[in-house]
Amino acid sequence: MAKKKASVFVCQSCGYESPKYLGKCPNCGSWNQMVEEKLPDKTDSRSRVSMTGKASKAQPITDISIETEERVKIKLEEFNRVLGGGVVPGSLVLIGGDPGIGKSTLLLQVSAQLNQGGGRVLYVSGEESASQIKMRAERLELRGVDFYLYAETELTAIQNTIEQIKPDYVVIDSIQTMHHAAIDSASGSVSQVRESTATLMQIAKMNNIAIFIVGHVTKEGAIAGPRMLEHMVDTVLYFEGERHHTFRILRAVKNRFGSTNEIGIFEMRNGGLVEVLNPSQLFLEERLAGATGSSVVAAMEGTRPILVEIQSLISPTVFGNAKRTASGLDYNRVSLIMAVLEKRAGLLLQNQDAYLKAAGGVKLDEPAIDLSIAISIASSYKDKETRPTDCFIGEIGLTGEIRRVSRIDQRVNEAAKLGFKRVFVPKNNMDGWKFPEGVDIVGCATISEAIKRAFQ
């Protein structure tokens, strides 16, 4: 009697495998996510090869030559910036984002510009027909392009088409719709996503093709499927933004060919995505003069300093417990700073509701924004406005000290370019760099000192 093919239960949220069914995944804690999947046949005894398709062998590190990656640049400079200077041939790029945020629009524009630069592009869609993609291209006014459109979900057929067309760039929209014939499970399952990505990675490396993969995201904002998916690819980009705002942020969280945490800012218009070259001016253009509870910080996003307005509204609570709300800022960071202000600066905030936000829909999470948050809270609490030409940079410790931050010179120079006349910085950041002309640099050691000098 033939032995029955073995199976395993796989969590569809995190990829955890179990030999038996479990109601709750012990790895991620998700309920009812364990699905039975048959294990692939492992009788194939072919020799292993490297990503280049050749048999690999060990060699001394001194005998290995360094090859400079040639990058292909497109007209969207913000997209080039996030990738580290351009598209690297043979790279595998994963782009995730909420439904309807503009992932397909971005990749359609990128495909058109790569094609206009002389590259052969294959756009594979598993969610839309070729006519739907053509309608979007006409709406975006993409003229003078002749890249290939292919509506298919079977990975074997896609692989054969790539061998026939021999493209330089391939777009897969999306990886959750792809189906690998060797895997006996539904499209979008952990096994299908993992094996499809592995096959695409081998195609990219062996044929020197740059492949862009669109990935769905979960309700928590992470890319759906196993976490291994992000480890397999070369670059992971998140396309973020509010549906009610026209601005979109393309953020790199992993990049083997460039800097991480780099961002590119776009504006969604009727004709597609338009890059924003001066985001600092964009985030400050609607700032209200004379308003209390407002302060400006020079935050670093990758290698780029961006000036962002932080707004606070402090009002007496009408319930027993004060309410704390933060938009674009870390809730725990806001609570911590308010505790420091109450203990070290004498502000009675325990009976005050606090509402804070980073204007423009941007998300800030670095320590250097602490001082600006504290000043905006103090401004609203005291009902005193800050100077419109003041900028605040610094990290706040639990003892009330203002700690040094990185790249202080780049932050201050960005503030000087936009007309700020006074910049508050940590006292320990005052040495080792040249101050820009016409800007008063104020070094502060404690939060009490900073508040006192800001409202003199």
pLDDT band at 226 (very low <50, low <70, confident <90, very high): low
Show the tokens assigned to 456: 């003199």
Q: Which amino acid is at 343?
A: K
Determine contact, residues 421/445, Cβ cutoff 8 Å. Answer: no
pLDDT band at 359 (very low <50, low <70, confident <90, very high): confident
Assign domain 70-277 to its CATH superfamily. Answer: P-loop containing nucleotide triphosphate hydrolases (3.40.50.300)
Beta-carbon contacts of residue 160 (< 8 Å; ≥ 6 apart): none
What's the CA gap between 405 and 392, in Å, rounded?
A: 12
Strands (DSSP E) found in 317-429: 324-327, 352-358, 390-392, 395-396, 402-403, 422-426
- Which pLDDT score is estimated for 237? 93
Domain boundaries, the chain: 7-38, 70-277, 281-454
Which of these ranges, 161-165, 215-219, 245-249, 353-357, has the smallest mean pLDDT? 215-219
- Which pLDDT score is estimated for 407? 92
- Which pLDDT score is estimated for 218? 67
For the domain 281-454, what is the CATH code?
3.30.230.10
Rounded to 5 degrees, φ, ψ at 10 are: -120, 135
Which pLDDT tens digit goes with each residue over 277-335? 888 887 888 888 888 999 999 999 877 899 999 999 999 998 778 899 999 999 999 99
% the chain with pLDDT above 70: 92
Determine contact, residues 120/166, Cβ cutoff 8 Å. Answer: yes
Distances (CA, A) of 123 to 80, 120, 272, 419: 20, 10, 18, 45
pLDDT at residue 47 tops 90:
no
pLDDT band at 50 (very low <50, low <70, confident <90, very high): very low
Which of these ranges, 137-151, 161-175, 182-196, has the smallest mean pLDDT? 182-196
Which pLDDT tens digit goes with each residue over 375-399? 999 999 999 999 999 999 999 999 9
Q: DSSP string spanning 184-205?
A: -S-TTSHHHHHHHHHHHHHHHH
The pTM assigned to this predicted structure is 0.77
Determine contact, residues 139/188, Cβ cutoff 8 Å. Answer: no
Mean pLDDT, residues 83-101 taken together: 91
